[in-house]
Structure 1
Amino acid sequence: MAYQSNFFVFDQNKPVSVTVRNYTEKDFDDLISLQSECFPPPFPSELWWNKEQLHNHISLFPEGALCIEVDGELAGSLTGLIVDFDPKHPDHKWEEITDNGYIRNHSPEGNTLYIVDISVRPKFRSLGLGKLLIQSMYHVVVQLGLDRLLGGGRMPGYRKYSDTMAPGRYLEAVVAGGVKDPVITFLLKCGRTPLKVVENYLEDEESLNYGVLMEWKNPFK
């Protein structure tokens, strides 16, 4: 089912027209450009979206391929797939559960909408678009009757505390409000709750390769 929502956000005191919708093939060049802005060098360009990945997103699970426009300009995107997740055996790596972003393992009969990626152009990050995209994906979870939305969050602030805190203790400090993490704190503000710290989730020097599984449970399940 196609998704489209039109509303306003505020740039200081100025209302700005915003649309959340499914992205399509006509957006591919803009989506790749978006990734280049969000993940500039030294981030390797071969890890930006490619057109084969994007084609898989819109053909295998179009409901999980969302973008947001500001005054008609593509400003951000959020991509997901459905997996069959067992909370009793939560450990996994990003590359395994997302098929390295190709989502060929998308399982329509699964129970969990898994977030593959979220990106917002730097010049639009003061508008709260990332939170709006995640909230839009909550709508998809409810519409499809899934158990939860799940994704692994980087914790890029952890490296500064790694000499004095284990990863789990760092997460506890973020949840308690004593430490602010750029990603985990943002996800908490979006309504996500921590499920587990996972080792070797994603190759990420700032997080020392740790990730935090963050979920939002469908309140109607």
Structure 2
Amino acid sequence: MSKYYKELYVFDKHSPKKAIIRNYTSKDFDALIHVQKESFPPPFPSELWWNKDQLSNHVNLFPEGALCVEIDGIICGSITGLQIDYKQGDLHTWDEVTSSGYISNHQTDGNALYIVDICVMPLLRKYGLGKWLMQSMYETVVNLKLDLLLGGGRLPGYHKFSNEMNIDTYVQKILSGEIYDPVITFLLKCGRTPVGVIPNYLEDDESHHYGLLMEWENPFKEAGT
């Protein structure tokens, strides 16, 4: 395992605050579940919060893809991934590609790091922690010499426009800046680029069950290798 540990300063306007991004371990499970509860309150189904069996798989099967961020010794966000063997055009659901969050299909020889989940406690999102967590996963991709990072983003703003436009038009309007979507716009700001819309990606009424597959290509990966 390549251990990850990074100290940095994040800002609330002009006020700096020291943060640490590191691999999470079994000692962090209760705190990670608390972050999930704060990040995804009702009506988000509680059965979709992390459970300890899932978290155990994360740290045992692919610890490099299990990162958390803490401020003042308190965990306030996390990001989780697994390795897959990805070929352009592959269609999948979130359950299929992540083994319903258990990552039991993690492939040690996979060419891509797939993001299972990212969450940050709402009161601390002002620090930009989500963007730093994503940046840390990009660094993991480079360290492991993978081709790319992938993940399906929710489109939680789509339900407001679904009566007047289809999903492809909605995505194009996000890309043109006509519509702000809290998830997809965030991922664009993190450097992710769209690959394509996936129908029935996850159970999510706000997104009408769509996901937008988005990637980040390893800029150090040589063509043909």
The bucket for the TM-score relative to the shorter chain is over 0.9
What do the CA deviations read for 1:113-136 (whole angstroms, capped 9, x no partner)?
A: 000000100110111000000000
Q: RMSD in angstroms over aligned alpha carbons?
A: 0.7
Query: Which residue of structure 2 lines up, in the alignment, with residue 82 of structure 1?
Result: 83
User: In structure 2, what is the Cα distance between the partners aligned to 1:71 and 1:14?
Assistant: 15
Percent identical among aligned pairs is: 60
For residues 5-59 of structure 1, the C-alpha deviation after alignment (integer angstroms, 9 at most, x for no partner) is 0011112222101000000010000001111111112222221111110000000
- 2:100 alignment partner, SS class: helix
Question: Secondary structure of 2:22's partner?
Answer: strand
Q: Distance in 2 between matches of 1:47 and 1:180?
A: 26
Compare 51-60 and 5-14 and name the one that shifted more.
5-14
| Superposition TM-score, scaled by structure 2 size | 0.96
One-letter amino acid matched to 1:203: E
Q: Secondary structure at the match of 1:7?
A: strand
Q: Counterpart of 2:60 in 1: which secondary structure?
A: helix
Tell me, what secondary structure is at the counterpart of 1:101? coil
- The within-5 A match list for 1:1-221 is 1-87=2-88, 89-221=89-221
Q: Secondary structure of the residue that 1:119 maps to in structure 2?
A: strand
Residue aligned with 2:86, SS: coil
Q: Distance in 1 between matches of 2:51 and 2:163?
A: 38
Gaps of 5+ in 2: none
1:184-221: per-residue Cα shift (whole Å, max 9, x none)? 00000000000000100011000000000010000011
1:68 alignment partner AA: V
1: distance between equivalents of 2:23 and 2:17? 20
- How big is the shift at 1:90? 2.3
**Mean CA deviation greater in 9-18 or 55-64:** 9-18
Structure 1 residue 108, shift from structure 2 partner: 0.6
User: Which amino acid in 1 is paired with 2:137?
Assistant: M
Distance in 2, Cα, partners of 1:76 & 1:198: 27
Moved over 6 A (4+): none
Report the residue type matching 2:77 in the other structure: G
Q: Which runs of 5+ in 1 are unaligned?
A: none
- Give the total of aligned pairs: 220
Bigger shift: residues 205-214 or 33-42: 33-42
Write the deviation string for residues 45-88 of structure 1: whole angstroms up to 9, x where unpaired: 2211111100000000000000001121101000000000111x
In 2: Cα distance, 1:191 partner to 1:90 partner: 21
